[in-house]
Structure 1
């Protein structure tokens, strides 16, 4: 078609609208094309410059080729080429600054131009009708989009509700699994601990708490049993680490110590002998060990130590003393207790054996030992079963360093008869 030179915006809009109608473009596409061309040429026309509109029709080629209406807008007298900007219908910019719109046609579209009235009144009426049609199409599109948004919002709300319900179900299931897992581990660890001892003239109680609820087992274990000569043997072990692996290490140490004690090995040699037995099979094993032997009838007490915090004895008159024994634990260099400490417990004396998690919760062992003395003095007259838990509650009022905690209390009572 012959290029058309247009001087006003209405003339350009009428020309584009007529081309769109003659090509049977959808109303929405026609409106977008008119708006896009108008926005691109508006600045030039407002400046009094003429624009040229070139129109061609491409014929479809091959199986996938589709016919198309091609409009090219030029402003030969403009200082700058027209811009499409954020156009309702994007255009391609050519090397010479011309803008080209390529609009696909239906297989039946692209026919001859429809008859348009020539009178000014009829032309105005036709333009008004076309604008109204485009407006109705735009409003219809807006209504459709609003309805689609409403539908999608409702679907999203339903989906969110379903996802939230599923999330709650998953949280409940995970909570049940965590509780079941923790309960199983606690039952397993309880099974690893020795049964209570009931002896005339002696009361025992113990408290254990892991470093975290996500790992209800740990490396703090104890063992107590009665030797053939009537003395009570007590082992306190604190294996390096947390969780199941440290539990296994601590269990290996307690079993080795029990075997050596029942075989009659001297108490002061058991830590070193346990090291010789265990480290070839577990080179990474490191554990502190405290061994105690008490004769319930006489109160005679023997202690051996391997890098473990000292035992605390609080006498019936209120005096307190840490029973210090030097030594190095299993897995340490030069393991073993340097000597055997001998002491005596009188009736109503209270002995406290513990792991460092009880006294080092604030990272200061000396301050922790002083607080432990104060706590024992406060609770020493309570029933024995309440004392270990009360000590742990006092010592863990402020926790700066979380660790497995074990507290074992032993008190001599009057012999029957």
Structure 2
């Protein structure tokens, strides 16, 4: 095939010539359709304005690397045409035009030329049908590939969904196992209420974090050999398991010292002395109370802990305050022992600061506590600390572990019954 140079005044004429030349050169139908469409887009504006365009078709000088070079020139254009977004990318051909280099398929016979001999002009309609058939075949292939990928994606999604369901089931099993473990740990750390004739006891514990119900607020209650009920309330610095360990150390030390017969006033100081070399970072407030179930006499020692609240049967209230410093504080120990008496129907409320210091003003918390305790003092004992804690926590400015422990002396008729 010899180089061809033609001038065209219409778009149909340009398309027909370029399509025939590309066919004679052996350009694949798909590339041929892209080439014709790209040249038509660039020349359409010039031809519509009545300005002719020229077309040059040049064969490759080397047979072993056969290609076809097509140049479109726009002599009347004021500026080079935009070449971005064409179906077949083009290079700029100054002063105004574009150039394409289209690869040709290798000849079946290596000795044969890459270009076919000149012959009769093929029918443009037949060439269009050939290009359309190739495009339809490619579209069908893309449709089949899309369907295959869609099926694979559906299978993958089904597998992912099944795996997600399995993971959800496993996660639920782990949550239940974790909850059972934490409840067992909590039960082990928090002893059940003491059974003492004449007294009713109940407790409410709320962790600062729901997923870590083993904070630094712990209590311990037991009966001494003489029948007296002993209660220890501890609030160790921090949260989580580390503070739980510190609180356990304090409650165990106080229990050991109490069972050894040490005086109530010395328990906080002796516990601090016993733990000084054991846990150097331990800081905890401590409150210890002893109640005689028969007489209702109570004695209270304190180390930096919030005061206990005594609610009389008639609704009168007052706090039992004893000066002192907790374990880990300078000069630990209770400076005095407060003595009072629980009459039948009276309620004693022990608590940690999470109950009253959830607001900016602790005094406001104490005032609200007295009002809540007065309102709920006659409920069944197991409901008293729950109702008080729920009312106090209707507004929380900062979360903290909370213990609310209630001791109520039963009336004489109930004791005899």
Shorter-chain TM range is 0.7 to 0.9
Equivalence for 1:360: 357
Give distance in 2, aligned partners of 1:253 and 1:3.
103
The alignment status of 1:350 with 2:347, answered yes or no, reads yes
The alignment status of 1:308 with 2:342, answered yes or no, reads no
CA deviations on 1:196-255 (whole Å, 9 max, x unpaired) are: 321222221112122232212211110112223432221111122222222112111111
Equivalence for 2:163: 166
What SS does structure 1 have at the residue aligned with 2:318? strand
Aligned pair partner of 2:333 in 332, 336, 360? 336
Give distance in 2, aligned partners of 1:335 and 1:231.
25
What SS does structure 1 have at the residue aligned with 2:106? coil
Equivalence for 1:323: 320
Equivalence for 2:262: 265
Equivalence for 2:377: 380
Alignment check: 8 A CA contact 1:186 1:217 kept? no
Which stretch of the first structure deviates more once superposed, 267-276 or 185-194?
A: 267-276
Equivalence for 1:43: 45
Equivalence for 2:102: 103
**Stretches of structure 1 lacking an aligned partner (at least 5 in a row):** none
- Distance of aligned partners of 1:97 and 1:295 in 2 relative to their CA distance in 1, 3 Å threshold: farther
**Superposition deviation, residue 311 in structure 1:** 0.7
What SS does structure 2 have at the residue aligned with 1:159? helix
What SS does structure 2 have at the residue aligned with 1:111? coil
Aligned pair partner of 1:249 in 246, 250, 258? 246
Alignment check: 8 A CA contact 1:44 1:82 kept? no
Alignment check: 8 A CA contact 1:182 1:216 kept? no
Equivalence for 1:80: 79
Equivalence for 2:33: 31
Equivalence for 1:278: 275
In the TM superposition, structure 1's runs of 4+ consecutive aligned residues that sit over 4 Å from their partners are 58-61, 94-98
Aligned pair partner of 1:17 in 11, 16, 19? 19
What SS does structure 2 have at the residue aligned with 1:80? coil
Give distance in 2, aligned partners of 1:381 and 1:397.
21
CA deviations on 1:7-36 (whole Å, 9 max, x unpaired) are: 233343233322332343332221111111
Which stretch of the first structure deviates more once superposed, 201-210 or 158-167?
A: 158-167
Alignment check: 8 A CA contact 1:210 1:217 kept? yes
- Distance of aligned partners of 1:92 and 1:307 in 2 relative to their CA distance in 1, 3 Å threshold: farther
- Distance of aligned partners of 1:40 and 1:113 in 2 relative to their CA distance in 1, 3 Å threshold: farther
Which stretch of the first structure deviates more once superposed, 384-393 or 317-326?
A: 384-393
* Matched pairs, number: 407
CA deviations on 1:104-161 (whole Å, 9 max, x unpaired) are: 333337732365535xxxx6xx112212322333344334434443443444344334
What SS does structure 2 have at the residue aligned with 1:356? coil
Which stretch of the first structure deviates more once superposed, 387-396 or 134-143?
A: 134-143
**Superposition deviation, residue 315 in structure 1:** 1.2
Give distance in 2, aligned partners of 1:112 and 1:3.
13
Alignment check: 8 A CA contact 2:42 2:81 kept? yes
Alignment check: 8 A CA contact 1:21 1:113 kept? no
Relative to the length of structure 2, the TM-score reads 0.86
Equivalence for 2:120: 117
Equivalence for 2:204: 207
**Stretches of structure 2 lacking an aligned partner (at least 5 in a row):** none
CA RMSD of aligned residues (A): 2.8
Which stretch of the first structure deviates more once superposed, 187-196 or 267-276?
A: 267-276
Alignment check: 8 A CA contact 1:289 1:308 kept? yes
Give distance in 2, aligned partners of 1:57 and 1:222.
96
Aligned pair partner of 2:236 in 239, 264, 269? 239
Equivalence for 1:6: 7
- Distance of aligned partners of 1:41 and 1:333 in 2 relative to their CA distance in 1, 3 Å threshold: farther
